[in-house]
Structure 1
Amino acid sequence: MAKWGQGDPRWIVEEREDGTNVNNWHWTERDATVWSKGKLRELLVGIAMENEAGRCEISELKQVEGTVKESGAKHKGLIEIPSLSEENDVDDTEVNVSKKKGDGDILKDLMKTTGTAKVREALGEYLKALKTEFTAGMILPTRAVTTQELTVERTLAENSLQVQASPVALGVRIPTVALHLTELFDTTVEQLYSIFTVKDLVQKFSKSPAVLEAEKGGKFQMFDGNITGEYVELLTNRKIIMKWRCRNWPEEHYATVALNFVPAPGQTELQLDCKGVPVCKEENTKFCWQKQHFEEIKGLLQLTTQNA
């Protein structure tokens, strides 16, 4: 396996203008929905417009409130943003304004003019933040992937803001490799399995504090937080499947690790399959498993035998 950047033809996608997903590239996905709701609320709520006729303010994501200066009458209206895309000029974004029954056309006109301009300005700030603030810590490993489709549609219904931001891949294409390692341990299947699932034993071989919830969906943290993840499946004394990552990997990117415990005469063979390792972290990941896990576990087993 060639190192990243050495021109291995298997990674020819590095030179493709369209960034086509070949050779089993891996997408890291992040759902922008929750973040988008908070960011839009931060940017839109509180926007105010005023002229000689009246004053309007976006009081909630779902509505605008206004007051007519001459009469003091108060009115409420709605805003709808049918679609918003970073592919189009934000100044072309459609902003629809409607009001509830009653007078208040002068306030509606105020929103359509001054209000629309301010809303579009806020939406422009949102799109900038989507590509910078939201993606902070995520790595763009190729030259080809420099512009990304960040189409996020919003519909402001009468009673709620529906931010429809599907879990799109925000420009993070990570070339990955799969590792397969086997190691023999002079111990029983039961004991080796427990070393990966019992907190005290994990702390002994890792020589550091650990957090361990050895159950399906349980979290774990090892080596002072440098290794974190989640147990996906545990078949007692047979198999463990985990979501697994190193701290210095791209944010929210996990490999899938499967540990198979195979009994052998007087020993146990551990078969490790690790899929989704970033190419640039291949050697570090091998070192982590071979040196920091396997060798340290063997040392712990020897010490246990000597003290028995």
Structure 2
Amino acid sequence: MAKWGEGDPRWIVEERPDATNVNNWHWTEKNATPWSKERLTQLFLDFKIVQSDIECVVNKVEECNGEATVNNRKGKLIFFYDWELKLKWSGRLLKNSKLSHNGKLTIPNLSEENNLEDVEITVTIDESNDESETLKQFMYNVGRDQIRKQLGVYIKELKEEYSKNLILPKKDANSSESTPAQAKDINNAKNAAQRAAAQIPTAAISSSNNNVTSKPVGCKLDVRSLTMTEEFQCNANDLYNALTKPEMVTAFTRAPAKVDAVRGGEFVLYGGNVHGKFEELVPEKKIQQSWRLKNWASGHYSNVIIELEETSSSTKMTLHQTGIPASEYTGMKENWHRYYWISIKQIFGFGTTFPLGPS
């Protein structure tokens, strides 16, 4: 091991208490995962979003999966964080109603690779009705921006907190005889923290105050609800399998299909034009999905509930779909009929064969 004053100074261990990472040349790393989980939990504990006659509250972080680290290499700070969050929220209309409605927010891609405005936030509700759909649209149009601001607070604080002491001053940098170059090194940690924090756009940062009053963002999406019934000449188990088994879904859609029929599992049909998640599954009885078309507004999902009732000679299927963009309503009704019910009857022999087309 070389002594101070000999050899390449980048690799010398100085006579100093820590005796490590001289001139900040070596890779050093801090684990920011525990701190991040605690901070994200704090930022979304009883976080209020209020506007005129609507009040919504992010009650807590239900799931927080991922990691965060901060590294120093050659005096440069490198931040890695990758999180998937699930938040529980509730809301109510302040006028003419005392009912509270619950839902979830899913954030699958909070990472240094994505800008805050590109972070996906999915809004769902537990039970669909006129009031809850209004709250859902509020969280979509207004709430998501406030959530992104809280995420911006986390990123800013991560970069400030974990810049400290990662870039170390050189030998004698604190002495009165330090050179201008050494004096510059003393400020490296402070400057690095400031530079890192400056990477977060000012508009993306809000106070960590849990009470937020927002101005209108975007426009309200006009949505419709659809209910339709269909009778199938089969038992409930066969129809349930046709809607949940990958090989059977592939058969009636006539295209490769991804179907993971478990709670939270994803489905992707018709080349990605239809996709979503299973929210609830009751074999032979009920299928509930967060469902969307590819061309809908980013992050907007409808709620689909398919209920099956077996009779002595057939199975009655009732579909109830809420949150359909008004411009898609007519086409939606026709497409369920054409590409689901008629196709299922033709492929599996569950009913009289009809010509492909709306009724």
TM-score under structure 2 normalisation?
Answer: 0.47
Counterpart for residue 296 of structure 2: 249
Residues 1:153 and 2:153 aligned together: no
Q: Secondary structure at the match of 1:177?
A: strand
Change (3 A) 1:189 1:120: closer
Change (3 A) 1:122 1:204: closer
Of 122, 130, 148 in structure 2, the residue corresponding to residue 32 of structure 1 is 148
Shift of 1:245: 0.8
Change (3 A) 1:119 1:197: closer
Give 1:132-171 correspondences, 5 Å limit.
152-153=206-207, 171=218
Structure 2: unaligned runs, 5 residues or longer: 1-50, 55-92, 94-129, 354-359
- The C-alpha deviation readout for 1:8-61, integer Å capped at 9, x for no partner, is xxxxxxxxxx998797542315341686379869xx97xxxxxxxxxxxx8966
Shift of 1:219: 0.8
Structure 1: unaligned runs, 5 residues or longer: 1-17, 46-57, 80-106, 131-150, 156-163
Change (3 A) 1:204 1:37: farther
Q: Secondary structure at the match of 1:298?
A: helix
Change (3 A) 1:152 1:271: same
The 2-side partners of 1:20 and 1:295 are apart by 44
- The C-alpha deviation readout for 1:230-276, integer Å capped at 9, x for no partner, is 11111110111111111111111111111100112311110011111
Counterpart for residue 274 of structure 1: 321
Counterpart for residue 194 of structure 1: 241
Residues 1:220 and 2:267 aligned together: yes
The 2-side partners of 1:245 and 1:64 are apart by 46
Q: Cα RMSD (Å) of the superposition? A: 4.4
Shift of 1:179: 1.0
- The C-alpha deviation readout for 1:96-152, integer Å capped at 9, x for no partner, is xxxxxxxxxxx9xxx9xxx8xx999866x442xx5xxxxxxxxxxxxxxxxxxxx72
Q: Secondary structure at the match of 1:216?
A: coil
Shift of 1:282: 1.3
The 2-side partners of 1:170 and 1:78 are apart by 38
Counterpart for residue 139 of structure 1: none
Q: Secondary structure at the match of 1:173?
A: coil
Q: Which amino acid aligns with 1:186?
A: Q
The 1-side partners of 2:340 and 2:52 are apart by 36
- The C-alpha deviation readout for 1:199-231, integer Å capped at 9, x for no partner, is 111001000100111111111111111111111
The 2-side partners of 1:295 and 1:37 are apart by 51
Of 284, 304, 310 in structure 2, the residue corresponding to residue 263 of structure 1 is 310
Q: Which amino acid aligns with 1:198?
A: K
Change (3 A) 1:19 1:153: closer
Residues 1:203 and 2:250 aligned together: yes
Of 180, 189, 206 in structure 1, the residue corresponding to residue 227 of structure 2 is 180
Q: Is residue 245–residue 255 contact of structure 1 (8 Å, CA) maintained in 2?
A: yes
Residues 1:288 and 2:335 aligned together: yes
Q: Secondary structure at the match of 2:218?
A: coil
Q: Which amino acid aligns with 1:271?
A: T
The 2-side partners of 1:119 and 1:232 are apart by 39
Q: Which amino acid aligns with 1:283?
A: T
Q: Percent identity?
A: 22
Q: Which amino acid aligns with 1:179?
A: L
TM-score under structure 1 normalisation?
Answer: 0.54
Change (3 A) 1:274 1:153: same
Q: Which amino acid aligns with 2:267?
A: F
Shift of 1:303: 8.3
The 1-side partners of 2:337 and 2:294 are apart by 18
Q: Which has the higher contact order (CA 8 A, sep 6+)?
A: 1
The 1-side partners of 2:352 and 2:230 are apart by 19
Q: Which amino acid aligns with 2:344?
A: I
The 2-side partners of 1:266 and 1:291 are apart by 24
Q: Which amino acid aligns with 1:274?
A: Q
The 1-side partners of 2:237 and 2:302 are apart by 25
Q: Secondary structure at the match of 2:271?
A: coil
Q: How many residues align?
A: 208
